């Protein structure tokens, strides 16, 4: 008989803390929370999403940028000025951490939207322009990557264990009402600053552990709607899919989640008949597929 317990590890660590009253609290708590799962990461990526940290700029889009060189920064600023007034920009405050080696340029911009709808644009929104900006920077400006682009929030990520990344970004000096943290254990993609979690677009911030094996087809599907995956991690695709399904296609979060991770057929068969419209939809879908199978077998 075995006299010890051998723990079976799964890669990546995830923590989320939210104040239901909307009270803001220091990032110290989320750093302590994620630090107890250090063994679930391997130092190749850590990051945090924080909501409510920029109350004085809550009406502006805050872009957190990762720059590999000064030319990337210059080109990005020239592009941003076409559509936005830069109300304020500054380096993201950091402190030296022994385990954080060779950090890239880290800058934040507080942007006011100024671009007007162009002739021929039927349905144009400020959010659409922000998405377009993120895709343009990530795809066409070499050495520049947008980490976050929402309002009154920011994503802080990089190469290292998450608690070390938090200290590097001085997160104990920020206060927010929602904090999300991730420690990465990459399995099928490289570890680098842009590939750390969370992934963000507008106000979305997504983390996950495990592997999403449908990354390739998701990437190709998203390209039809001008979302371009350039950060080499499957969670980026999921972030864009939520924006497409919920913001653009107006699906509920429940329906979007079911579209991305549909229940198995035997689970659908056990759904009660008198539940939500979503349940009825899955039942109808199952029945239709059963009819198709019967027809095929009948041939």
What does the pLDDT read at residue 8? Answer: 44
Q: 């904090």: which residue's tokens?
A: 179
What does the pLDDT read at residue 124? Answer: 74
Q: d(Cα 165, Cα 95) in Å, to the nearest integer?
A: 10
Per domain, the residue ranges of the chain are 13-210, 265-298
pTM: 0.85
What does the pLDDT read at residue 178? Answer: 96
Which residues belong to the active site?
12
SS3 content of the chain, % helix, strand, coil (to 5): 35, 20, 40
Superfamily covering domain 13-210: Aminohydrolase, N-terminal nucleophile (Ntn) domain (3.60.20.10)
What does the pLDDT read at residue 1? Answer: 46
| Average pLDDT by stretches of 10, the chain with 299 residues | 50 87 93 86 87 95 96 96 94 90 94 75 81 95 95 94 93 96 80 87 87 80 91 88 93 83 76 67 62 48
What does the pLDDT read at residue 7? Answer: 44
Q: Which distant-in-sequence residues (6+ apart) come within 8 Å of 71 by Cβ?
A: 143
Q: d(Cα 254, Cα 245) in Å, to the nearest integer?
A: 11
Residues pairing with 144 in the sheet: 67
Q: Which distant-in-sequence residues (6+ apart) come within 8 Å of 294 by Cβ?
A: none
Each residue of 32-58: pLDDT tens digit? 998 888 877 787 888 999 999 999 999
What does the pLDDT read at residue 248? Answer: 93
Each residue of 182-224: pLDDT tens digit? 888 777 777 888 888 899 999 999 888 777 777 788 889 999 9
């Amino acid at each position: 008989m075995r006299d010890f317990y051998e723990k079976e590890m799964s890669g990546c660590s995830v923590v989320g803390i939210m104040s239901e009253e909307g009270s803001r609290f220091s990032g110290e708590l989320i750093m302590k929370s994620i630090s107890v799962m250090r063994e679930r990461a391997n130092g190749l990526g850590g990051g945090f999403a924080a909501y409510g940290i920029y109350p004085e700029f809550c009406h502006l889009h805050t872009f957190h940028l990762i720059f590999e060189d000064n030319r990337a920064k210059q080109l990005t600023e020239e592009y941003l000025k076409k559509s936005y007034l830069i109300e304020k920009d500054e380096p993201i405050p950091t402190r030296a951490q022994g385990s954080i080696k060779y950090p890239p340029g880290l800058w934040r911009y507080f942007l006011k939207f100024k671009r007007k709808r162009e002739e021929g644009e039927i349905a144009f929104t400020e959010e659409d322009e922000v998405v377009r900006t993120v895709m343009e920077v990530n795809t066409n400006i070499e050495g520049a990557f947008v980490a976050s682009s929402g309002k009154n929030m920011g994503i802080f990520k990089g190469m290292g264990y998450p608690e070390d990344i938090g200290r590097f970004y001085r997160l104990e000096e920020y206060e927010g009402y929602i904090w999300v943290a991730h420690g990465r254990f990459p399995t099928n993609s490289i570890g680098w600053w842009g590939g750390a979690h969370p992934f963000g677009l507008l106000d979305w911030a997504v983390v996950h552990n495990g592997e999403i094996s449908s990354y390739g087809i998701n990437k190709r599907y998203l390209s039809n709607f001008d979302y371009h995956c350039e950060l080499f991690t499957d969670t980026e695709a999921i972030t864009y899919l939520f924006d497409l399904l919920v913001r653009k296609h107006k699906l509920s979060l429940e329906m979007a989640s079911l579209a991305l991770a549909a229940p198995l057929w035997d689970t659908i068969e056990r759904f009660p008949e008198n539940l939500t419209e979503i349940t009825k939809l899955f039942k109808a879908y199952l029945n239709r597929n059963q009819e198709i199978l019967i027809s095929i077998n009948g041939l």
